[in-house]
């Protein structure tokens, strides 16, 4: 169903000029997963317009309130995935994007993001895209042309000259002053966070993933510039040197971060670095190494890195590092929608996290990674009414895999409006 979620809070402007006040909605939950590690039994959520006005077990019901009784079900926050790529669709060879004009990429990307809502992803972050493609997709959602999640952008990834192939979208910079220029340029385009390439990439034919690219002082300049305007910095990094540079530079979120050695893990604890390991993209891709469709250079580099991932994630969980769900959706075999809850499952199954910790990683921590935790990520008064109502008998605290079946999510509410019903 298509219900554009972005009308103004609390009212609808009718074409005849009359203002129609929206009714409050009281949603009753059997079990409420707040998103911060706590649950409430028999709780109610009072929604006024697009936001939550009250949460508790004794919520007073205003007159003229619509009551939705889900007292036999689990209600939880909408999921957040801060790492998708709307320029890519999960094809085996990311290079196929060369066959598309920016206009076609934007049309395809608009179709892809619709799949996110089906799996309860109410907020997503595009972690680097070509030209203005991500901006066009975001505009299509906000204008109600596309039924998609709230989409936040980093614009172009900031890289050294030649650090990436041009098809992915990059803003090349060299030296501290030029890095400052690139960060300011992306901020001037209206981005929400900054994405840095600290090392080479698996998906880039001419770079080695564990080779450091930016020096620590360049990364620090980028992190400082980002922090000055109240935004978050994320850095793609592999290998001991690139990861260490990222942490010491004060980057907020380490993305990928494989292999994660003991020294760098201790540095992350000291500096409060958040960790987005994107396990699902490697896990799914390695299942297809023998298919013959992935580029040889990607297979080679993935075979080097995949055996090292599980230990690092387990150690991060044991150390209490703040895990963040992020999928790299759009990369080979990493498809929109199901990949996000699958990442949560892998945190549990491979990393040894609890189901609750995995949920926090995909709600509260993911919101923190985008610095939107004052608005989303937990079910609390004053926050956006972004909620999932699960089907009867489905509880991710008992089985985290239920979130991978979109039919287990009977209703997706975004900014107080039901946008998906299964």
Span 358-402, pLDDT tens digits: 999 999 999 999 999 999 999 999 999 999 999 999 999 999 999
Q: How confident is the model over 3-17, as a mean pLDDT?
A: 37
The reply to whether 301 and 408 lie within a common domain is no
Q: How confident is the model over 63-87, as a mean pLDDT?
A: 96
Residue 3: what pLDDT?
Answer: 46
Cα–Cα dist 37/356, whole Å: 6
Chosen domain end from 369, 396, 412:
369
User: Is position 162 within any domain?
Assistant: yes
Q: What is the pLDDT of residues 212-257, one digit of tens each?
A: 999 999 999 999 999 999 999 999 999 999 999 999 999 999 999 9
- Please provide the size of the chain in residues: 422
The reply to whether 329 and 240 lie within a common domain is yes
The reply to whether 259 and 398 lie within a common domain is no
The reply to whether 177 and 265 lie within a common domain is yes
Residue 173: what pLDDT?
Answer: 97
The reply to whether 217 and 302 lie within a common domain is yes
Residue 326: what pLDDT?
Answer: 98
**pLDDT higher than threshold 90 for residue 164:** no
- Name the residue with higher pLDDT: 323 or 2: 323
Q: What is the pLDDT of residues 103-119, one digit of tens each?
A: 999 999 999 999 999 99
Q: How confident is the model over 176-185, as a mean pLDDT?
A: 98
**pLDDT higher than threshold 90 for residue 187:** yes
User: Is position 66 within any domain?
Assistant: yes
The reply to whether 359 and 385 lie within a common domain is no
Residue 4: what pLDDT?
Answer: 45
Q: Are 108 and 133 in contact (CB under 8 A)?
A: no
Question: Shortest CA distance to 406 belongs to which of 115, 74, 177, 12?
Answer: 115
The reply to whether 336 and 322 lie within a common domain is yes
User: Is position 374 within any domain?
Assistant: no
User: Is position 3 within any domain?
Assistant: no
Residue 166: what pLDDT?
Answer: 67
The count of domains in the chain is 2
The reply to whether 251 and 302 lie within a common domain is yes
Specify burial of residue 78 (Cβ count, 10 A radius: 0-12, 13-18, 19+). Answer: buried
The reply to whether 205 and 57 lie within a common domain is no
Q: What is the pLDDT of the chain when averaged over all its residues?
A: 93
pTM of the model: 0.93
Token pair 């001419």 is found at 206
Residue 11: what pLDDT?
Answer: 31
**pLDDT higher than threshold 70 for residue 21:** no
**pLDDT higher than threshold 90 for residue 205:** no
The reply to whether 384 and 341 lie within a common domain is no
Task: Tell me the CATH number at 98.
Answer: 3.20.20.140
Q: What is the pLDDT of residues 97-106, one digit of tens each?
A: 888 999 999 9
Question: Shortest CA distance to 396 belongs to which of 365, 367, 353, 366?
Answer: 353
Q: What is the pLDDT of residues 36-72, one digit of tens each?
A: 999 999 999 999 999 999 999 989 888 889 999 999 9
**pLDDT higher than threshold 90 for residue 8:** no
Q: How confident is the model over 335-359, as a mean pLDDT?
A: 98
Question: Shortest CA distance to 276 belongs to which of 249, 252, 240, 306?
Answer: 252
Q: How confident is the model over 63-90, as a mean pLDDT?
A: 95
The reply to whether 124 and 212 lie within a common domain is yes
Residue 13: what pLDDT?
Answer: 34
Cα–Cα dist 53/416, whole Å: 11
Residue 20: what pLDDT?
Answer: 42
User: Is position 131 within any domain?
Assistant: yes
Q: How confident is the model over 352-356, as a mean pLDDT?
A: 98
The reply to whether 287 and 359 lie within a common domain is yes
Tokens of 196: 């840095």
Residue 6: what pLDDT?
Answer: 44
User: Is position 1 within any domain?
Assistant: no
User: Is position 4 within any domain?
Assistant: no
Residue 167: what pLDDT?
Answer: 65
Task: Tell me the CATH number at 55.
Answer: 2.30.40.10
Band (pLDDT 50/70/90 cuts) for residue 168 is low
Residue 22: what pLDDT?
Answer: 62
User: Is position 2 within any domain?
Assistant: no
Band (pLDDT 50/70/90 cuts) for residue 23 is confident
**pLDDT higher than threshold 70 for residue 125:** yes
Domain that residue 395 falls in:
11-77+379-421
**pLDDT higher than threshold 70 for residue 122:** yes
């Amino acid at each position: 169903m298509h219900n554009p979620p972005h009308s103004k809070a609390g009212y609808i402007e009718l074409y005849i000029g009359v203002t129609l006040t929206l009714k409050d909605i009281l949603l009753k939950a059997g079990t409420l997963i707040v998103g911060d590690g706590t649950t409430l039994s028999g709780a109610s959520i009072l929604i006024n317009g697009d936001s939550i006005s009250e949460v508790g077990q004794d919520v007073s019901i205003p007159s003229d309130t619509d009551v939705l009784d889900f007292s036999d079900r689990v209600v939880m926050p909408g999921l957040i995935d801060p790492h998708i790529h709307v320029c890519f669709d999960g094809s085996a060879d990311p290079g196929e994007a060369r066959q598309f004009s920016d206009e076609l990429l934007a049309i395809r990307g608009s179709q892809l993001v619709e799949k996110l809502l089906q799996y309860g992803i109410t907020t997503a972050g595009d972690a680097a895209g070509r030209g203005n493609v991500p901006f066009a997709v975001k505009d299509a959602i906000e204008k109600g042309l596309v039924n998609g999640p709230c989409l936040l952008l980093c614009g172009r990834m900031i890289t050294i000259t030649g650090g990436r192939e041009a098809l992915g979208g990059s803003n090349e910079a060299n030296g501290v002053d030029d890095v400052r220029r690139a960060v300011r340029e992306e901020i001037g385009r209206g981005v929400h966070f900054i994405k840095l390439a600290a090392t080479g990439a698996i998906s880039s034919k001419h770079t080695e993933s564990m080779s450091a690219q930016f020096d620590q002082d360049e990364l620090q300049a980028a992190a400082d510039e980002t922090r000055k305007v109240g935004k978050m910095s994320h850095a793609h990094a592999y290998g001991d040197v690139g990861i260490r540079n990222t942490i010491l530079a004060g980057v907020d979120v380490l993305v990928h971060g494989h292999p994660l050695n003991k020294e760098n893990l201790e540095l992350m604890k000291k500096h409060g670095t958040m960790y987005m390991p994107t396990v699902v993209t490697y896990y799914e891709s390695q299942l297809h190494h023998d298919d013959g469709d992935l580029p040889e250079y990607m297979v080679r580099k993935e075979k080097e890195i995949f055996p090292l991932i599980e230990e690092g994630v387990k150690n991060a969980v044991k150390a209490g590092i703040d895990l963040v769900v992020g999928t790299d959706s759009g990369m080979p075999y990493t498809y929109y929608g199901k990949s996000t809850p699958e990442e949560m499952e892998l945190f549990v199954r491979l990393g040894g996290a609890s189901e609750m910790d995995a949920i926090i990683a995909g709600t509260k921590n993911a919101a923190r990674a985008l610095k939107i935790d004052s608005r989303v990520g937990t079910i609390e008064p004053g926050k956006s009414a972004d909620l999932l109502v699960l089907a009867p008998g489905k509880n991710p605290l008992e089985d985290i895999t239920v979130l991978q079946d979109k039919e287990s999510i009977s209703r997706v509410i975004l900014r107080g409006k039901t946008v998906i019903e299964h």
